[in-house]
Amino acid sequence: MRVIIVDSAADVAAAAAARIVRAVNRARKHSRAAVLGLATGSSPLGTYEALAALVRDGSLDLRGVSGFALDEYVGLDHAHPESYHAVIRTSVTEPLGLDPAFVRVPDGLASDLSAACEAYEQSIADAGGVDLQLLGIGTNGHIGFNEPTSSFGSRTRLKTLTPQTRRDNARFFDSLEQVPMHALTQGIGTILEARELVLVANGEGKASAVAAMIEGPLSSMCPASALQLHPNAAVIIDRAAASQLNYTEYYEQVEANAHLVE
Ligand code: F6R
């Protein structure tokens, strides 16, 4: 796992955007369009803004690129501004100039939710798998909505949100009661199949989850620790999010010398 510690949220966004640009260009070199895994929440917003700025100034063309959102609330109308259908449309599809037909979000309104999850897995497979999955991390260590105790082999499915996650996400809604109890989420097994993982986190509130993910044991109690199993995962964090790590000096040494071994 690469651990990249930078000074500010803007630096986190720039470093993550650079990796996405690299993945898009790499796919293009092989005459195909990249498939991106898309996180929602506040953490990746700066990354999407950095990419949108490149699209606006003409240095990045994402036409043909497709995207798969990580998750969606169950029972929230797609027109609700906090549904991930709406969030992906307004913070990703539109600003990045993606074709909406190429951007999928799990269907939390489906009458048969498990069939919708199976269809979602199938559409990822049909697209040839995800080239780069962008991730955030919950204060309880979740990735997607894979809450603590989620199986590392899990696939896209229905999950019940923990009280902690509902409290954390209440800031997006008018009240805690409005935060849905359930979500559909790509599983940890699904996420681990992406060819590259990039997790971004900012702020002290994430420091304990970040330390458990990077330096803690592999454990379903910290779903993000599954990133330790991935051969191509980068965690890009600011100093506050890195503040509970023990090996900071080592990670900085590795990154300072990375050009010598790449
Ligand atoms: C959202 C998602 C979640 C968030 C996590 C952090 O698609 O998958 O795992 O990344 O809850 O949320 P923020 O970034 O709002 O702190």
Query: 236-245: per-residue pLDDT in tens?
Result: 999 999 999 9
43 Cβ inside 6 Å of ligand 1: yes
Among the residues of 57-187, which ranges form H helices?
84-88, 94-96, 113-126, 163-169
Taking the CA atoms of residue 24, residue 30, residue 33 and residue 38 in that order, the dihedral angle to the nearest 10 degrees is -50
Distance 85 CA to ligand 1 centre (A): 15
Q: What per-residue confidence (pLDDT) applies to 259?
A: 85
142 Cβ inside 6 Å of ligand 1: yes
Q: What phi and psi values does residue 204 have, to the nearest 5 degrees? A: -65, -30
Q: Which atom of ligand 1 is nearest to the CA of 70?
A: 7
Distance 41 CA to ligand 1 centre (A): 4
How confident is the model over 57-66, as a mean pLDDT?
Answer: 95
How confident is the model over 120-136, as a mean pLDDT?
Answer: 98
Q: Which of 235, 204, 203, 208 is nearest to 222 (CA)?
A: 208
How confident is the model over 172-181, as a mean pLDDT?
Answer: 97
pLDDT band at residue 186 under the 50/70/90 scheme: very high
- Whether 123 has a pLDDT exceeding 90, the answer reads yes
Give the three-state DSSP class for 179: coil
9-29 and 45-56 helices, crossing angle to 10°: 60
Give the three-state DSSP class for 90: helix
Strand 2-6 with 103-104, pairing = unpaired
Mean pLDDT of the residues in the chain: 97
pLDDT band at residue 17 under the 50/70/90 scheme: very high
How confident is the model over 250-254, as a mean pLDDT?
Answer: 97
- Whether 62 has a pLDDT exceeding 90, the answer reads yes
Which residue from 137, 168, 237 has its CB within 8 A of the most atoms of ligand 1, so it is best to mutate? 137
pLDDT band at residue 95 under the 50/70/90 scheme: very high
Compute the C-alpha angle 46/182/184, nearest 5°.
65
pLDDT band at residue 196 under the 50/70/90 scheme: very high
Q: What per-residue confidence (pLDDT) applies to 140?
A: 97
- Whether 49 has a pLDDT exceeding 90, the answer reads yes
Which residue from 12, 40, 87 has its CB within 8 A of the most atoms of ligand 1, so it is best to mutate? 40
- Whether 153 has a pLDDT exceeding 90, the answer reads yes
Compute the C-alpha angle 204/205/210, nearest 5°.
80
185 Cβ inside 6 Å of ligand 1: no
CA 195 to CA 192: how far, in whole Å? 8
How confident is the model over 39-48, as a mean pLDDT?
Answer: 98
Two structure tokens written together for 187 = 């599983």
Record the pTM.
0.97
* Terminal C-alpha separation, the chain: 15
- Whether 72 has a pLDDT exceeding 80, the answer reads yes
How many CA atoms, within 13 angstroms, populate the side-chain half-sphere of residue 242? 21
Q: Are 155 and 227 in contact (CB under 8 A)?
A: no
Which residue CA neighbors atom 9 of ligand 1 most closely? 144
pLDDT band at residue 116 under the 50/70/90 scheme: very high
Q: What per-residue confidence (pLDDT) applies to 114?
A: 98
- Whether 201 has a pLDDT exceeding 80, the answer reads yes
223 Cβ inside 6 Å of ligand 1: no
Which residue CA neighbors atom 8 of ligand 1 most closely? 144
147 is catalytic: yes
Q: Which residues pair with 198 in a beta bridge?
A: 134, 234
Burial level of 10, CB count in 10 A (0-12/13-18/19+)? middle
CA 154 to CA 126: how far, in whole Å? 19
Q: Name the catalytic one among 72, 107, 131, 147.
A: 147
Distance 53 CA to ligand 1 centre (A): 22
- Whether 262 has a pLDDT exceeding 80, the answer reads no
